[in-house]
Amino acid sequence: MTESVRNVAVFSLGGTIAMTTDPTAGGVVPALSAHELLAAVPALATSGIGLKAQDFRRLPGASLTFEDLTALSAAIAAELETGEVDGVVVTQGTDTIEETAFLLDLYHGHAQPLVVTGAMRNPTLPGADGPANLHSAVLAAADPGLSGAGCLVVLGDEIHSARTVRKSHTTSPAAFTSPACGPIGRIAENRVRRVGGLPRRGPLVPVPDREARVGLYTVTLGDDGTLLDLWDGNCDGLVVAAFGVGHVPERLVEGLTELASRMPVILASRIGNGPVLSDTYGFSGSEKDLLCRGLIGAGDLGPYQARLLLHALLAHGADGATVRETFTTASAR
């Protein structure tokens, strides 16, 4: 008995994986179509996986917007609702993969795997990694064992959860890691090899129906808090990337207290690996002090993830109580 064919939809957004040299620009720019990307991976023709390609955007990863990703999420949902595909692959620039994957996961309510991939070396360079990454991503998206895993990131034959993945190097082909827990699986001999259970999913958030602006303020040595005033009245919510487990200079405490009385202010760690604590340090500007003043802890969500979750909530009209409840649930392990 032959195994039934698995089908995967591939959405191309541009990025390094799709770049070629542009003499006018004096460097590489997004130019290759989704069909051209797939044609560069001959192994896919004999994989037994049916492919459906769609050019969605041709942009560098740095130029993607919330509007682009909202539209992409809707297009993915429409494709999955046809019942004709078993998984989805998104190719894009690696600059923003850890953010786009997390945001797509918030909107992805289907069981079929959604896999994001890209390349660290463009097609004009020796050892370009795009074709291998695309091949692995398609295999992961077609694997029934990853059903219910949500959005995943696949590069360098490793499968990472959207919640835990980080880009940890500017140029290395091994840039993507999950520092808190490692990958959930790997690709070898053309199949998925899981090394752990499926990742815990975060909250599902409805697609946005209004504008929202969320700021990200990174605390630094010697910070006197003057720049905090710039956020007041200019955003609907703020994420503070604090020192260590959630600490800020004492001079920032009054300003943060005022801001937290007027809008949601999320307390994250600028380290990006490990949780914000809640009840260990007690000095002015400590995590305990700030949480008592109305800030909301991000738990183990990094500042970029916390900003995306807060934006998604506010863009759907969530009030302060809903924001607090969602972050409490999302950050618990």
Q: Which residues are catalytic?
A: 16
Report the SS3 class of residue 9. strand
Residues listed for the chain: 333
H or E stretch covering 246: none
User: What ranges make up the beta strands (E) of 96-178?
Assistant: 114-117, 151-155, 158-161, 166-167, 176-177
* Distance in angstroms (rounded) separating the CA atoms of residues 73 and 67: 10
Please enumerate in sequence order all residues whose Cβ is within 8 A of that of 203, keeping only pairs 6 or more positions apart, or say none.
106, 309, 326, 329, 330
Strand residues in 24-80 grouped as ranges (E): 27-30, 49-59
Residue spans of beta strands (DSSP E) within 243-288 = 265-269
Half-sphere exposure of 133 (CA within 13 A, CB side): 33
Give me the amino acid identity at 91: T
Strand, helix or coil for residue 27: strand
